[in-house]
Every structure is written in structure tokens, then in C-alpha cells.
Amino acid sequence: MTELGTNVEKAAELLRRGELVAIPTETVYGLAANALSSDAVLKIYAAKGRPAFNPLIVHVRGAAEFSRYAEEVPELVMQLAAHFSPGPLTFVLKKKSNVPDETTGGGNSVALRVPAHPMALDLLHQLDFPLAAPSANPSGFISPVTAAHVADQLGGLIPYVLDGGACSVGLESTVVAVQGDTITVLRLGGVKISDLQLAAPQATVVTSTTPAAASPGQLRSHYAPRTRLVLGNLDKLIQEHRSKKVAVLALADLPPHQNIVAGAKLSPTRNLDEAARNLFASLHRLDAAGAEIILAERMPEEGFGPAINDRLERASV
């Protein structure tokens, strides 16, 4: 039986005993365990059905703690952290030996971030260890942005869901690696590339063209509903699938076709920040609509558009 509640002290006590607790962050809900305990971390992989080579993000109380778990923290990392920590930015750094291989997927790097959710920070301040916390859902499926989403997907597998309301960002964190004056974006997410450039104008920002083993969220098939999803031009897709019952995910305008059984507008005003916040909640609703297929509109390649398209592309594999 999985309990939902707002008792941070109870969540802390369960985590001290090596149990799993789903916690709210500004990005998505995370499935948390003691990041320094191999046994606790292995429970995350088991509950999610997650491949053990897929590294986990380690959540800490503040950027000053990065040096506890990373061999070296470049000055550029701290410059970015001054702007985005707490916040949806994760740094991949060379790990210290106190971080178990189970937490890093067997690699020699650790992914570190400071969550920007008051309940998550309160919880971290009650613990004397950091929290490994990937998204609180079965591996490969839609990320949860409410406590109810967690209960629907992991109910019975974990003892407690700390309910902190709906996630304010709604996309996983942006993941970066820093070398010299170069910032390499390993995963698009809750911090835009343009914001990284503004925060570190002296640096060069590049996007990785190949999946990085050190970065979470890089499996080709990811973020997927149980209903098949196809991404592209909505009018063309609806014509191609006109004999089926379809659900439609659009940025602002739903096409008027009779075979649409459910639809979701990510942002009626075409605001991509709002679209990012609404993405996963909309996918959860459409997945439950009883459609044969979900047709998703490709977003504009600006702002959060590339990060949304990244999630939809992985969901459509």
C-alpha cells in the first residue's frame, strides 16, 4: 500500500531506513533513495525496472556540497550554479569514491543538482546524505508531474509519496558537462540554451550530438505513453490515421476532425514555457482517453521547443 501525504519528517525517516520515497521537485517527481547506499539505490532500479547502466541524478542541499561528491568543481560550474542552483540544471562531474558505482551506472562521473522545491529542500536539510532521484515512474514511460501520477504508476511498489503539488517546470533538468570554457549540453531540459549563454557569456555552449553515457535520460525510448505516439504535422498525421480513434496533442490549435476522441492544447497563447509545464500532464490525460494512437504536433525550434521535441521524439520510438 502506497501512502500519499505531506509529512516531510515521515519521508526522512523512511529514507534513513533505506526505503524509497517519491518526492516533489520543480521539474518532475523523483523516486528518492540514499545516494550513498548501494542497497537503497538498487531498490530504485528494481521499482522502476530501470537499466542499471543508466546513471541517477544526485540531489543536494546547495552547490557548496558539490565538492563533497565530485573530485573537481570548475569555476564555470559555480558560475552557472550561482544562476541556476537551486533550479533545473544538473552538472556532470568526476565522482569521488564515496559515491557508489550503482548511483552512477558504473561510470566515473556523478550528476549533481540542487532542486528548487521547498519541500524537497526541507527534506534534504533533515538528512545527512544526498538523494538519488530519477523520475518516479516505470522506466521509459511518461514522467509524473503530480503525486497522483506517481501513485497511478508505482502504487504498491513504494511506501510513501510526498505530495508537494504540481511541478512548476514540468520538464526534467537540463544536463551539462563543463570543460575549460565549453559547456556541453548533454540533455535539453528546464534551462534553455539561451539562458546558459546569458549566464556565462565568456563560455561556448554546444549541444552533444550523440547520447552521453554519463547523462541520465539518454535512452532512445523514453517518456512514452502506453498508447502509441507519432510526432509530426498534425493535418498530415490525421489524414494518415483517419480510420482510427486518435488523441491529439497540439501547441495551440486542435484540428476539427471527427476521428479525434481527445485533445490537449499545451498553450492556447503559444507560450512554450507554459507548453513545457503542461506536456507530461497532457500526455497522461491523452494516454487514458482510450484512443488507438496519439498524434503529437512538433513544436517550434525555439525556447523550450527543442526540449519538448526531444521528449516527444523519444516517446514516439
* CA–CA gap between residue 191 and residue 172 (Å, rounded): 9
* CA–CA gap between residue 180 and residue 158 (Å, rounded): 42
- Could you list the beta-strand ranges (E) of the chain: 3-5, 21-23, 30-34, 57-59, 89-94, 109-113, 131-132, 160-162, 174-179, 182-187, 204-207, 229-232, 246-250, 260-265, 293-297
- The annotation status of 68 as a binding-site residue, yes or no, is no
* DSSP 8-state code for residue 133: -
- Strands 160-162 and 3-5 come out as parallel
| DSSP helix/strand/coil, 159 | coil
| DSSP helix/strand/coil, 275 | helix
- The annotation status of 125 as a binding-site residue, yes or no, is no
How far, in Å, are 13, 16, 46, 88, 292 from residue 83 at the CA level? Answer: 32, 31, 35, 11, 44
- The annotation status of 199 as a binding-site residue, yes or no, is no
- The annotation status of 194 as a binding-site residue, yes or no, is no
- The annotation status of 233 as a binding-site residue, yes or no, is no
Q: How many CB atoms lie within 10 A of CB 66?
A: 22
**In three state form, how does the secondary structure of 205-231 look?**
EEECCCCCCCCCCCCCCCCECCCCEEE
- Strands 57-59 and 109-113 come out as parallel
- The annotation status of 135 as a binding-site residue, yes or no, is yes
* CA–CA gap between residue 93 and residue 202 (Å, rounded): 20
DSSP 60-111: -S-GGGHHHHBS---HHHHHHHHHHSSSSEEEEEEBPTTS-TTTTTTSSEEE
The three cell numbers locating residue 125: 536539510
- The annotation status of 59 as a binding-site residue, yes or no, is yes
- The annotation status of 143 as a binding-site residue, yes or no, is yes
User: End-to-end CA distance of the chain, in Å?
Assistant: 33
- The annotation status of 173 as a binding-site residue, yes or no, is yes
Which residues define the annotated binding site? Answer: 27, 50, 54, 59, 113, 133, 135, 143, 173, 187, 223
Which residues define the annotated binding site for L-threonine? Answer: 27, 113, 133, 173
Which residues define the annotated binding site for ATP? Answer: 50, 54, 59, 135, 143, 187, 223
